[in-house]
Amino acid sequence: MNKLIKNKLFGPVIIFFIIVNALCLSFSTWLDEKNINHSVLLAANFILFIITLTACYIYAKSLAADNAHAFVRSVMMVSFIKLMAIAISVFVYLIAAGENRSLYAVAGGMLLYIIYTVLEVSGAMKVNRQRNVKN
């Protein structure tokens, strides 16, 4: 993997992960007062971070393929896998938390899902565009 791919794909995701963790830890008391469980947000952020790093790795591998459709298939596959993983995580959390669940934290996790998806797809599109210009 070359430096361009690492910077465009992995860089924004890692920076966003660090920022969200810092904000959740810094404002944990305020979040808890607003009925937003900061631990749930941190867990959602971690799960999304791991899935997104895996997605970026799959994108990088698909960009190396000669078949142009491989990239599109990888985007669709990763989006589906990520959505299913998050749906299962939310379902498990809601069952395990019972009456102590934080629906606002779940909504925050879904917002994080959207932001991570935008970061990964925009990074992959930038790398793909620059790769096509070179060819």
At 49-92, the pLDDT tens digits run 999 888 888 877 877 777 778 778 888 888 888 889 888 999 99
In angstroms, the CA 64 to CA 113 distance is: 26
Binned at pLDDT 50, 70 and 90, residue 46 comes out as: very high
Binned at pLDDT 50, 70 and 90, residue 132 comes out as: low
Given a cut of 60, whether residue 135 has pLDDT beyond it is: no
pLDDT at 74: 83
* Residue 16 CB contacts under 8 Å (≥ 6 apart), including other chains: 115, 116, 119
Region 1-17 average pLDDT:
79
pLDDT at 131: 65
In angstroms, the CA 11 to CA 32 distance is: 30
Amino acid identity, residue 99?
Answer: E
Region 17-24 average pLDDT:
95
List the chain domain ranges: 3-134
* Residue 53 CB contacts under 8 Å (≥ 6 apart), including other chains: 10, 13
Amino acid identity, residue 122?
Answer: S
The model carries a pTM of 0.85
In angstroms, the CA 8 to CA 60 distance is: 10
